[in-house]
Structure 1
Amino acid sequence: MKKKKKNKMDDTSYDIEIKYSDDFLDEDDDNDDEFTNDEKRKPSIFRKIFFALILIIALTIIYSRYIATSGLTIKEYPIESDSITESINGFKIAHFSDVHYGRVIKLDELKNLVKEINLTKPDIVVFTGDLVDKTKKLSDNDINNIITELSKIDSKYGKYYVTGEHDVKLDKYYEIMDSAGFNNLDNKFDIIYKDINSSILITGLSVKPDESFIDKVINENKVNYKVNIMHYPDEFDNIKKYNYDLVLAGHSHNGQIALPVYGAVITPENAKEYYKPYYKIDNTLFYISSGVGTTKFDYRFLNKPSFNLYRILKK
């Protein structure tokens, strides 16, 4: 490129020629193109990551709400004991808890639960509270349906229950359970005799526990095996001194939502110390049901609805 410039001193003019390197121009153009392509690629990658995350979150929510809350798992636990006699050997206990009827559990789900329990042919059935949910109002038809279905549960030696904190809000709760053939063990006990030398003590605690009767019961009755059922898991420390063979509880739902490695995300009051499916404390085996239904929010994750089946075996 040429540019003409006039010298003011001598009125002479001269030409200045400025040359640009083709290589310099080409390098700048290449850098501009490269910069532009990078800028174009970055938003595209970010968009893909963003939409992938949105998709994962959406699928997780759908799974947790509609898939993880449906179906029913049977968790079977063999339990060996030196104190079991031959006549008690193989004794089966079916344990269900936390139905919260009216939320995700409705009539069809209750029918399936009853069917699955009966297929295990239990010797006794225990329920550890929260049949209903305090946020759901039940109609007379709902109540009649619950009684009808729970009445169909078969057991050789009896059906037992304790009360959960949601149950006390329903005036007809005790009527439902009694009409369905369940025996109330709120701060009470029963002894199951297989024969004159083979017996199982079963005690129960309500959500307003009174352990004062347990000392007398244990001291006055020689039994082969001791079981306690209760709703609140954290009540365990108050009965640890009685050296039960087996303790069963509900309430915690095992956290309802669990994450790999981390475990339960949220645990309710009265299940802060104990909320996992299983503990062994001294000589006591302590099992906590994950529950059949949901409470507070109708989601589950890595924690399917279930009931437990325990087989008491001679060691």
Structure 2
Amino acid sequence: MSPSGFRLAGGVLAAGTVAGAALATYAACEARAYTVRRVTVPVLPPDHAPLRVLHVSDMHLTPGQTRKRDFVRSLAALDPDLVINTGDNLSHMRAVPFALDAFAPLMERPGVFVLGSNDYFDPGMRNPLKYLLPDDGVRHIDRAQLPWGELVEGFTDAGWLDLSNRGGRLRVNGEEIAFAGLDDPHITRDELDSVGAAPLDADLRLGVVHAPYLRALDRFADQGYDAIIAGHTHGGQVCLPWHGALTTNCDLEPARAKGLHRHPADSLPGDPGSSWLHVSAGLGTNPYVRFRVACRPETTLLTLVAR
């Protein structure tokens, strides 16, 4: 190669290195740009007052993540009437007391929760690009178990309802809310038969699950639940501007990787066997690769209003 060719190749390599470093810096900053989304859901009976529901998901906390912990503590200032936690709170063997500290102000409010796979098992180092490939069905349940029982005990001692393959009821601001929940479908802990028909005597019926696999969403919708609350997807985590998510890490299509949608996707409000679906993009990442692209970490304040 001629000297000019070497100089050109060197320039391209240098430019690529700078661009790669810039992208990595941006992605690391994006993963720490915690955001509150606000969404209105027309799901209450006519003439009922609005209800403020805080949806928190996928914190993936480690002991050293003080900024994330402070952000979660600050969410109590939003004055929610109800907190729904859709799991993956942990990412470290010693994270439970830090997670409970983060949620302490919110645990003064009525709340419900389910767990995700990363509450049960240590996440470990993974190839982040694998999430962009088709699901091979491999689940890392051979990893060390996290002390998830301590997390459940902390939540339930504060009065939050554990909805792992079970239902429950709460009266919140005069609204009778019936819940049905599933344990994490991502690691096949879901027991679909535990979700029975939505009670007709409740003002609002909510399904709660960590990973929005279609079998779980179908069950809630078929059984008459007004809305389904889920997490897990990280909103795609690495998204393309003006395109959105490339993957959901489950069988939900990328177009519904985050935000408010209908389920089934082509249904309309009032259609039998259909529900609203809210999927949170979550607050965290794998602790070893804290990158997000065009997909800020989030929690959502859902304002439920009359249909």
Tell me the distance in 2 between the aligned counterparts of 1:72 and 1:95: 14
Given the alignment of the two structures, is residue 137 of structure 1 paired with residue 93 of structure 2, yes or no? yes
Corresponding residue of 2:196 = 215
With 252-261 and 164-173 compared, the bigger mean Cα shift is at 164-173
Q: Residues 231 and 121 of structure 1: is their aligned pair in 2 closer, same or farther, counting only changes over 3 Å?
A: same
**Paired residue for 1:294, among 282, 285, 290?**
285
Q: CA deviation at 1:46?
A: 6.4
Given the alignment of the two structures, is residue 256 of structure 1 paired with residue 215 of structure 2, yes or no? no
CA contact (8 A) 2:280 2:300 kept: yes
**Paired residue for 2:261, among 275, 279, 287?**
279
Given the alignment of the two structures, is residue 310 of structure 1 paired with residue 302 of structure 2, yes or no? yes
Q: Residues 124 and 40 of structure 1: is their aligned pair in 2 closer, same or farther, counting only changes over 3 Å?
A: same
Instruction: State the TM-score, normalized to the length of structure 1.
Output: 0.74
Tell me the distance in 2 between the aligned counterparts of 1:195 and 1:299: 39
CA contact (8 A) 1:255 1:275 kept: yes
Q: Which runs of 5+ in 1 are unaligned?
A: 1-38
CA contact (8 A) 2:39 2:260 kept: no
Residue pairs, 1:1-150, within 5 angstroms: 48=11, 50-65=13-28, 67-81=29-43, 83-86=45-48, 89-102=49-62, 106-115=65-74, 117-133=75-91, 136-138=92-94, 142-150=95-103
Residue pairs, 1:139-288, within 5 angstroms: 142-154=95-107, 156=109, 158-169=110-121, 170=145, 172-180=147-155, 181=158, 182-194=160-172, 198-207=175-184, 208-215=189-196, 218-219=198-199, 221-234=200-213, 235-269=216-250, 271=252, 275-281=257-263, 282=267, 283=269, 284-288=275-279
With 205-214 and 90-99 compared, the bigger mean Cα shift is at 205-214
Tell me the distance in 2 between the aligned counterparts of 1:265 and 1:92: 31
Tell me the distance in 2 between the aligned counterparts of 1:211 and 1:222: 22
Instruction: State the TM-score, normalized to the length of structure 2.
Output: 0.75
Amino acid across the alignment from 2:101: T
- CA RMSD in angstroms, aligned pairs only: 2.7
Q: CA deviation at 1:79?
A: 1.4
Amino acid across the alignment from 1:137: M
SS at match of 1:201: strand
Q: Residues 44 and 84 of structure 1: is their aligned pair in 2 closer, same or farther, counting only changes over 3 Å?
A: farther
Tell me the distance in 1 between the aligned counterparts of 2:260 and 2:163: 22
Say how many residue pairs are matched: 263
CA contact (8 A) 2:90 2:96 kept: no
Q: CA deviation at 1:261?
A: 3.8
Tell me the distance in 2 between the aligned counterparts of 1:229 and 1:49: 50
Of all paired residues, the percent bearing the same amino acid is 18
SS at match of 1:93: strand
Tell me the distance in 1 between the aligned counterparts of 2:291 and 2:166: 34
CA contact (8 A) 2:73 2:104 kept: no
Tell me the distance in 2 between the aligned counterparts of 1:62 and 1:82: 43
CA contact (8 A) 1:232 1:270 kept: no
Tell me the distance in 1 between the aligned counterparts of 2:22 and 2:71: 27
Q: CA deviation at 1:214?
A: 2.9
Deviation per CA, 1:72-118, whole angstroms, max 9, x where unpaired?
A: 100110112362443xx210110111111128x72332122121x20
Q: Residues 189 and 95 of structure 1: is their aligned pair in 2 closer, same or farther, counting only changes over 3 Å?
A: same
Q: Which runs of 5+ in 2 are unaligned?
A: 122-144, 270-274
SS at match of 2:80: coil
With 50-59 and 252-261 compared, the bigger mean Cα shift is at 50-59
Q: Residues 254 and 194 of structure 1: is their aligned pair in 2 closer, same or farther, counting only changes over 3 Å?
A: closer
